[in-house]
Amino acid sequence: MRQTMTQRARPPSREDYFIRQSSLNLPGRLGMSGPRPRLVGCTILEFSESGALVEVFAPVDEAVKYFTLEFNGHYQRARLVRAEERKLLLAFFPEELAYIEPA
């Protein structure tokens, strides 16, 4: 029997991809350095090899640009790309830059 276009499974659209990614909701913690170092609880909304979108549970100081993201026992150093209210877009450092030798 011959299938028509409407009977075939359609490939996932861009909207389907983002709907799946936004339901990630991994719990984590965000470590901040600076004049007031502290840990803030967060939810990881989207995650990739190069970065993550997180929602923090407490306000983050605007001066802080570097973070450590901890989730499932893993630690990843990151820098702030964009902040919108309580959502932060973070870019991860490559492995070779995660640790800087002291001078």
Domain ranges of the chain: 14-94
CATH 2.40.10.220 fits 14-94, yes or no: yes
The token pair that represents 6 in the structure block: 């409407």
pLDDT along the chain (103 residues), means of 10: 51 49 76 83 89 90 88 89 91 65 49
How far apart, in whole angstroms, are the C-alpha atoms of residue 68 and residue 90? 10
d(CA 102, CA 86): 34
What's this model's pTM, rounded to 2 decimal places? Answer: 0.67
Tally the residues of the chain: 103
pLDDT of residue 30: 94
